[in-house]
Amino acid sequence: MESKLVNNLSDAIRAAGLKDGMTVSFHHHLRNGDFILNLVMDEIANLGIRDLTVNASSLFDIHMPLMDHIRNGVVSKLLTDYVSGGIGRYISNGILSTPVEFRSHGTRATDIACGRTPIDVAFIAAPAADCRGNCTGKLGRAACGSMGYAIPDAMYAKKVIVLTDELMPYPLADWAISENFVDYVVKVDEIGDPKGILSGTTRITRDPVGLVMADMAAKVIQASGLLKDGFSFQTGAGGATLAAAASLKKIMLEQQIAGSFALGGITGYLVEMLRSGCFRQLMDVQCFDLDAVKSIREDPRHREIAAAHYAGPGTRGAVVDSLDVVILGATEVDTDFNVNVHTDSSGCLMGGSGGHTDAAAGAKLTMIIAPLVRARLPIVTDRVGCISTPGSSIDVLVTQRGIAVNPGRADLAHALRAAGLPVVDIQELKQKAESITGIPQPVAKGDKVVAHVLGRDSAIQDTVLSLPQE
């Protein structure tokens, strides 16, 4: 058998023909445990290649060495869907001369597929692979479960290099990416640190405010009329949203509601709902914990989906378009229901849409859960520091002090009031918060554009300015 194994990463990069000014890509299923991006960028720097665009589905603090590669000219442009706080601070301080392009996970997939953001060399961190490049996240010491975000990179990049620390006998049966998309395979010592890749278990919040919001969220879903046979659901891994899922599960089991699917990043909690019969199926683009990894490996009802299938915008659509309810977070919501998940209260980048904008656009009921006050600042503002997800996609904001419904959803407001839920005007929520915190000072901003946030149509939706110079 002709193996695609090359001796080392350096040989693979050379064989792939990487040159100055090209674009390389990375996926983020190894999250804050990922060793691959740093390993690759160091090797690229050693080879003297410069002026690269890095298209990374997300960046975490473990990727901080990337900042050095920006400083020394190896990297000149970033495309990403999410940045952690540490990385965000550097970007907000203007480390790049070109604005970062932020996309949603779905828009990233579509823009790669349609050639708007071509990739020259994709680097795929694979927890298990065979010598011809069939690879999976379901096996191996650094198993991450789904590899959904890496699939567009593999399908459309000009060259594809798989890096693995677990070589399996050919053919690896349960591939996420098949060999016909792979040019080279490189064996490395360790692709990542399992502790940084997955939580041991995801936990429901014990915070009383979180529990109040969770209970209210479940009641909103119930009152919306969507909680019936065929119900579909997406939520994140945050403690309060998990608590909302717990409340939902209780209602679904009591009322014997047979949902259809849960979607998105998958936690053990959603796996438990699958097993309890709340859903027929899990559609998984990313596993958040060990239970989810075990489930996607063993349970055929738990399916891996590609980023485009999950959330790609466009006429053919994606699973998000068939979603009933999504529960999402926010750092700020404004009185037009625009949501910020990119910047913190000081205007510093510390997040990104991920699938936020996609799920919000698709779901019949998009709910933001957030405490009325966070870090002594109101959650509701006149204008968010950055429009991550437009207010037109948001139906309802649930806080512990009341529920604000988008004026475009009078039907929903009516249903919630009929169910005895505390519907209030969003202005009222803002005033309540300000009565606690006072009116916050306007955020001082620098004058350099450090990021463009692109909407699902790939057009610029908002712009992030640098932090003020100290």
Does 407 engage in binding with a second copy (CB under 8 A)?
Answer: no
- Residue 196 to residue 401: CA distance in whole angstroms: 35
According to DSSP, the residues that pair with 53 across neighbouring strands are 23, 77
Identify the H or E element spanning 450: strand 449-454
Q: Return the number of the residue (208 or 300) whose C-beta is nearest a second copy.
A: 300
State the nearest-atom distance from the C-beta of 392 to a second copy, in Å: 17
Q: Return the number of the residue (171 or 440) whose C-beta is nearest a second copy.
A: 171
- State both tokens at 431: 């005033």
Does 14 engage in binding with a second copy (CB under 8 A)?
Answer: no
Does 408 engage in binding with a second copy (CB under 8 A)?
Answer: no
Q: Return the number of the residue (48 or 115) whose C-beta is nearest a second copy.
A: 115
Give residue 464's region: left, alpha or beta (phi > 0; psi -120 to 50). beta
State the nearest-atom distance from the C-beta of 437 to a second copy, in Å: 41
Among 132, 249, 356, 409, binds a second copy (CB under 8 A): 132
Residues binding a second copy: number (CB under 8 A): 38
Identify the H or E element spanning 124: strand 121-126
Q: Return the number of the residue (297 or 452) whose C-beta is nearest a second copy.
A: 297
Place of tokens 């037109």: 392
Does 76 engage in binding with a second copy (CB under 8 A)?
Answer: no
State the nearest-atom distance from the C-beta of 309 to a second copy, in Å: 5
- State both tokens at 75: 């990297």
Within residues 285-324, the interface with a second copy by CB under 8 A covers 300-301, 303, 305-306, 308-309, 312, 315-319, 321-322
Does 183 engage in binding with a second copy (CB under 8 A)?
Answer: yes
- How many of the other CB atoms lie within 10 Å of CB of 89? 18
Do 238 and 374 touch, CB atoms closer than 8 A? Answer: no
Does 261 engage in binding with a second copy (CB under 8 A)?
Answer: yes
Does 66 engage in binding with a second copy (CB under 8 A)?
Answer: no
Q: Return the number of the residue (138 or 219) whose C-beta is nearest a second copy.
A: 138
Does 158 engage in binding with a second copy (CB under 8 A)?
Answer: no
Does 170 engage in binding with a second copy (CB under 8 A)?
Answer: yes
Do 325 and 278 touch, CB atoms closer than 8 A? Answer: no
Does 2 engage in binding with a second copy (CB under 8 A)?
Answer: yes
Does 346 engage in binding with a second copy (CB under 8 A)?
Answer: no
- State both tokens at 54: 């890095």
Burial degree of 458 (CB within 10 A; 0-12, 13-18, 19+): middle
Q: Letter for the amino acid at 325?
A: V
Does 169 engage in binding with a second copy (CB under 8 A)?
Answer: yes
Among 182, 278, 363, 416, binds a second copy (CB under 8 A): 182
Q: Return the number of the residue (97 or 256) whose C-beta is nearest a second copy.
A: 256
**For 224-365, where are the alpha helices, taking DSSP H only?**
239-254, 268-275, 290-298, 307-311, 356-362
The beta-carbon contacts of 223-226 under 8 Å, at least 24 apart in sequence, are 223/415, 223/416, 223/418, 223/419, 223/421, 224/325, 224/365, 224/412, 224/415, 224/416, 225/415, 226/324, 226/325, 226/364, 226/365
Does 417 engage in binding with a second copy (CB under 8 A)?
Answer: no
Q: Parallel, antiparallel, or unpaired for β 380-381 and 339-340?
A: unpaired
Q: Return the number of the residue (52 or 109) whose C-beta is nearest a second copy.
A: 109
| Stretch near a second copy under the rule CB under 8 A, chosen from 28-36, 85-93, 191-199, 277-285 | 277-285
Does 448 engage in binding with a second copy (CB under 8 A)?
Answer: no
- Residue 244 to residue 221: CA distance in whole angstroms: 10
| Stretch near a second copy under the rule CB under 8 A, chosen from 40-48, 86-94, 176-184, 381-389 | 176-184
Does 281 engage in binding with a second copy (CB under 8 A)?
Answer: yes
The 3 state secondary structure assigned to 365-395 is EEEEECCCEECCEECEECCCCCCCECHHHCC
Does 280 engage in binding with a second copy (CB under 8 A)?
Answer: yes
The site for a second copy (CB under 8 A) is made up of 1-2, 4, 132-133, 160, 169-171, 173-174, 178-183, 230, 260-261, 280-281, 283, 300-301, 303, 305-306, 308-309, 312, 315-319, 321-322
